[in-house]
Amino acid sequence: MANKKTEFETYRKIDSYTLHGLKFENPSAENFLSYKKIKVTIEEIEESNEVYIERLQGLLDGTRGYNARARIQDEISHLRKQIPNVSSFEAFTEFVNNMETDKSYKITTPFYYEMIRIDKNNDDKFSWALGCNYKVSGRTGYTHPMASGNMVKQFKTEAGAKRSLIKYCDFLFKK
């Protein structure tokens, strides 16, 4: 390598296959001579969902293939359902109050829970669910409002389920 340090940005997805191609544990003389150590650092550049959506929309506009278009549209839909910021109780409350029923939302900031949803059942009653974020909480699984007899509590109105969810999560914002 003529240049001692090379830095660049890429849109290439770095998966396990790509990483495996970069990892050489020992010096080698097979196919090419490799004896100098090289440090490789891979860092994801965090950008806002709006930037990702705009970039994906550009890809969608220039893509004709049905399968590629479907993947892009799914990703745009997924990004639009993400909770951008749960760092304050007020932001969390506002988001919950604007949530749509029967849709899962991914929480993108490090938070005790990583998924949130409000469900409407067949009896026109509502409930909520939170998916635990193992990296933050050390727990896996889901949290539901519980009624007596180990049954998931149901609410008569969507607003009631949302109030219950907000009340349940307020401990996460208290210091």
Q: What is the pLDDT of residue 175?
A: 63
Q: What is the pLDDT of residue 161?
A: 93
- The contacts of residue 133 (CB under 8 Å, 6+ apart) are 107, 110, 111, 112, 113, 114
Q: What is the pLDDT of residue 83?
A: 67
- H-state helical runs in the chain: 16-22, 49-61, 66-80, 89-98, 134-137, 158-169
Which portions of the chain are predicted below pLDDT 70?
Answer: 1-3, 82-85, 149, 175
Residues 133 and 114 sit within 8 Å (Cβ to Cβ): yes
Residues 79 and 56 sit within 8 Å (Cβ to Cβ): yes
pTM exceeds 0.85 for this model: no
Q: What is the pLDDT of residue 88?
A: 83
- The contacts of residue 120 (CB under 8 Å, 6+ apart) are 101, 102, 126, 158
Q: What are phi and psi of 60, to 5 degrees?
A: -60, -40
Q: What are phi and psi of 108, to 5 degrees?
A: -90, -25
Q: What is the pLDDT of residue 159?
A: 94
